[in-house]
Every structure is written in C-alpha cells, then in structure tokens.
Chain A
Amino acid sequence: MSAALEFPVDLPDDPIDRAPALGWTAITLGIATLSLALTNAFSIESWGADLPPSATVARLMDETGHWRATMDRIGLGAPRETMHHSWKSLEEARWPDQQGAASAARDDPDNGLQG
C-alpha cells in the first residue's frame, strides 16, 4: 500500500503548500462559522434548548431565540427552511400500496386515532 493511501490527508505535492496555511485556514473557518451563524440560527436555538436547564441556559435561550427571530425576519433562515421542508416531504413519501395501507388504517373505526 502506498504512503498516499495510508494517510488520507497526504495529497500530491503542489507549490501552494510551501506557503503557510494557518491564516488561510483561520479565515476559512471564521467565514464558515459566521455564515452558519447567520443562515442556521434554527440549529443554534435548538442547541440551546438541548442544554441542561439553568439560569445561564435560560438567558442563552432568550438570546438565541431573539437571534433566530431576527435572522428569520431578514430572510436569512429561509434557505434552510425551504431545504428542510423539501427533505421532510421526501421522508414522508410512500409507495402506492403503502399509502393505501396508511389510508385504511386511518379509516379503520377501531383505530384509536379516529376522531
């Protein structure tokens, strides 16, 4: 097995690797973090909700809730929301015979879910 296969992060040589890359990496991570903070406020809010409850977490949840509301108001949360909605539709799709079974279950008078 070649060395390139043994260590996946070893790529073929390139002159670009002679320059230090810490700054390039830091800017990449910084921009990615900032972009996600703007476009994925939903996940930040969900993260706060999953933390063990405490006074600090309650304050944090207030802040993340405000942040999400602000991002949603200016439309930055819309791309994630649209993609998530499409994915959920795909999750809920069923084969034709499964839809029949699901309808039959819904129409069953013995089904406890029936109104």
Chain B
Amino acid sequence: MLFPTLTFGVFFLITFAAVWSARSNEWRKILLLVASWVFYGAWDWRFVPLLVFSALMNWAVAQGIASERFIDRRKALLLCGVAINLVILGFFKYFDFFTEQVGATLAAIGFERDLPVLRVILPIGISFFTFQGISYVVDVYRGRVVPARLLDILLLMSFFPHLVAGPIVRAADLVPQFQTRPKLDRSMVSMALLLIVWGLFKKTVIASELAVTFVDPVFADPASHSALDLVFAAYGYAVQIYCDFSAYTDMAIGLAALLGYRFPRNFNQPYRAQSLQEFWRRWHMTLSQWLRDYLYIEALGGSRFGKLATYRNLMLTMLLGGLWHGANWTFVIWGGLHGGVLAAERLWADVGPKRWPPLPAWVKVIATFHVVVLGWIFFRAASFADAMTYLGGVAHPFAGPAGFTASPLIVLLIGFGLAMHAAPEHWMTDVAVRVRRFPAPLMGVGLATLILVIDAMRFEGVAPFIYYRF
C-alpha cells in the first residue's frame, strides 16, 4: 500500500476517523497497532509475525536489562538483544549475498561446491524496524530511556507512517508521545497537510517523471548513451532520489502529525552542503544520527582513540552504512567513497595549512555535490561493471555515441529539483503560519485544488519508493 494511491487515502481516512473517535488512549493505540499491521500485511501477511516477534524480543530484552542488577548480566542481555536483531537483518538481507560470495571464492580456489541459495524474500522496512529495536535496547542499557510497556513498543516498531522507510524514530522521541492522548492544533495540521502535498508533488511528478522517461533508460544501457546524457542522468538521479526519499519522509511526518504525533526532520536541503560532513547532517538525518550514535561512537569508539582511529572509524561506519543499503558491492563502494572523503576532510582539518584562504562557499557546494553525484552513480548502477561503463562514458565524451535524449521537461525538472535547495530554509513553515488562520472550507478547497493539479501532472502509475527495498 503506497502513500500516493487512492487505496492508501481510503485506508488513512478510515484510520483517522477511528483513531480520533476512540474514547481512551489505550484503545487509540490498539487501533493504530491494528491499522499498522493491516498496512504492513497489505504487502505480505507472512511478515507481520516477524514484525511482532522483533518488537516482543526487544521489549523482553529491555525489561531484562532494566530488572538486572549485575552489570555483566546486563551487558550479556544487551549483546544478546543486538545479536538477535542483527541475525534477523543478516538472514533476510545478506544470506544469499554471502553464500554467493563464498561460492565464488571456493570456485576461484578450485573447490567448487553447490551452496544453498534460498532466494530469501526481503521484508520491506526490515532495516528500519531492526535499527529501531537496536537503538531501544542500547538506550535502555545506557539509561537514556526507561523500559516502555509492551503496547508502546509494539506500536513504536509497527507505527505505519514510518514503518517501511523511516524516518528512524527513537523510543525517546515517540514513546513519551504515546503515553498521553495527543491533541491536534491548527499549526500541526497546516504543516502536516503542506508536507503531504509537497511530498506528493516531489514523488509523483518529479521523481516518477525523471525515473521513467530518462534516468532508468540511461542507467539500464549506459554504453549506448552520449556523455551529455550520462552527465544529465547522473544529475537527474541525484534529484530523483532526493525527491523520492524526502517525499516519503515528508508524507510520513505529515501523516503522523494528522494522527497527533511528531516525527523528527529527516532532510534539510542536502545539496546545499559545503562539505560531506555537512551533507550527512542534512541527508537522511535520522540514519546518520543513528550511525553516529550507535555505530561510530558506541561500537567503534568515535574519536576517543586518536586521529588514526578516528579516520578508520569514519571509514568503517560508512562502509557498513553502505552495506546496510543492500548486499551489493556497489553499495560498499558508495559507502567507501563517502567514508574516504569524510576521513580526508577530517585529515585536512587536522593537518592542513591553517593560513590558506578558505574557498568560496559556492565552490565548496559544487565540489561536495559532485562527490555525492559520483557516489550516486555507484549507488544506482546495477553492478560494478555498469558503474565503470558509465564513468568511462563520461570520461571519454568523444568516444561514445552522440546526441541528447533528455526532453526540455526533464531538463526543467532537474533544474527545479536543484533550485529547490536554494529556497529559503523555512519557506514551508512561513506558508503554514499563514494558512493555519484559513477557515476550514477554504483550507479544504485549497487542499483539493493542489492535489487535483498534482494528479493532472503525475506520471501514470506509482513506482514503489526507492528506500522500500532497503
């Protein structure tokens, strides 16, 4: 059930009416839980028990940690909880990948064997709810949150607006909101509706049009496209993935707000970053904060063990972040590129000459953007070989075919997608502040008009969000 469909619209209106009609907060949460399972089950009912098991396991481990007085046993419980989460994630996401790699290695050294490849189906959202579970047990162990009730943990991990593609909402942010009956105010609703409409526009008009009519065909066969096509498709993918993923989280934040809950921001005009470090403070912010807090600092030690260890930890964090996106060497290379550049930025800050004049901001923005785009080529390519063919086509502009297949509309959409990063940072807040004073009929007609315009422009059909598969 995808957000920008009428099926989801009907589902959400029924959920909205039922939830706000509930007399007690407990019934409200039970209704939300059932709605979330219906939402998840609409994709594949077989994985609803996995979601429930994951929540039950994390709840039980956290209860055990909180009730245990001995530090060694608390630590053993924590390790056990994290390990079970990682085994679940590892099995569904990486079993076939590692089996294939082992098989290829054995074949290379002359011990070819038929290893069992299970063709495991990847449950959507597994990375997100697993990370949520890990952060919950770690936070309970560290004393950052108190163990929550079973119903609250079930709902935290199943809550449908963020279930399949984030933002990663931590227990410390959401569980306290579950404990009292929420209240709607016009500010929250105005911003929520704007976020939903803006997300709908970015996904169904910009991301879908770019993907179907230009980016997908170029990435599918880079050898038969000109260098100009390849460059524009790389920029196009940068805009597509931003519009696709930020649209999902905008809609998730808006939908949760209509149900009375606040989610954290997940994107903040990432392509205006002046360094890769700043990029990660603006792109998928809840994942980068998760990787920083639980992997870079908690598991690897952050910058506590000297400069060399810091560079190594940055590299390892991004390599694992790359692998988190999927079992493919292209993701590992993407993570390695980001880790390498982050480490280089840190090294430059540590040992670079201090007296050199700083580069102009626009030069840093353009340089950072092109490092990110280079990473996107690996991220989007079906294989390492495809990525190298792509880069070869860009590097030898006169060796390949000539021509330019992007239409004026595609160029316009790429330009618009980049230009939105130059908009005032709080433009949507400013609009919401104005519209919250509108009478309800005007608000309703305005909302319908915007959706009608978007629907008239949208590309036929709705492709799943890119981050559904992560």
A: residues with CB less than 8 A from B are 4-12, 14, 16-17, 19-36, 39-40, 43-44, 47, 51, 79-80, 83-84, 87, 90-95, 97-98, 101
Contact = CB atoms under 8 A, between A and B. Distances in A.
A80 B407 contact: no
Interface residues of B, number: 55
A21 B444 contact: no
Nearest to B258: A25
B257 A9 contact: yes
Interface string B397-412: 0000001110111000
Nearest to A79: B452
Nearest to B462: A50
Contacts of B195: 8-9
Contact of A47 (B7, B191, B432, B440): B7
Contacts of B303: none
Contact of A24 (B183, B404, B440, B452): B440
A28 B196 CA distance: 14
A83 to B, nearest CB: 4
Given A9-B262, A22-B20, A79-B452, A98 B189 contact: no
Given A47-B6, A94-B407, A11 B447 contact: no
Interface of B: 5-7, 13, 16, 20, 183-193, 195, 209, 213, 253-254, 257-258, 262-265, 268, 403-405, 407-409, 428-429, 432-433, 436-437, 440-441, 443-445, 447-449, 451-453, 455-457
Contacts of B407: 91-95, 98
Given A11-B436, A47-B5, A94-B408, 14 more contacts: A5-B265, A8-B429, A9-B192, A11-B191, A14-B186, A20-B183, A24-B440, A36-B452, A80-B455, A83-B456, A90-B409, A95-B407, A95-B408, A98-B407
Contacts of A92: 407
B456 A7 contact: no
Closest A-B pairs by Cβ, 5 of them: A31-B444, A35-B448, A83-B456, A27-B440, A11-B187
Contacts of A36: 448, 451-452
Main secondary structure of the interface of B (DSSP, over half): helix
A41 to B, nearest CB: 11
Given A39-B448, A90-B409, A11 B190 contact: yes
A80 to B, nearest CB: 5
Nearest to B432: A11
Contacts of B193: 28
Nearest to A39: B452
A29 B436 contact: no
B78 to A, nearest CB: 27
Contacts of A17: 185-187, 436
Main secondary structure of the interface of A (DSSP, over half): helix
Contact of B184 (A22, A80, A93, A94): A22
Highest count of chain B CB atoms <10 Å: which of A6, A35, A98: A35
Contacts of A12: 187, 433
A5 to B, nearest CB: 6
Nearest to A16: B186
Contacts of A24: 186, 189, 440, 443
A27 B187 CA distance: 16
Nearest to A47: B6
A95 to B, nearest CB: 6
A76 to B, nearest CB: 11
B338 to A, nearest CB: 21
B265 A14 contact: no
A10 B429 CA distance: 9
Contacts of B190: 11
A91 B433 contact: no
B2 to A, nearest CB: 11
30 contacts: A5-B268, A6-B265, A7-B262, A7-B263, A7-B264, A7-B265, A9-B195, A9-B253, A11-B190, A11-B429, A11-B432, A14-B187, A16-B187, A17-B186, A25-B184, A25-B189, A31-B444, A32-B444, A32-B445, A35-B445, A36-B451, A40-B455, A51-B7, A79-B452, A80-B455, A83-B452, A84-B456, A87-B457, A91-B209, A91-B213
Nearest to A5: B265
A28 B189 contact: yes
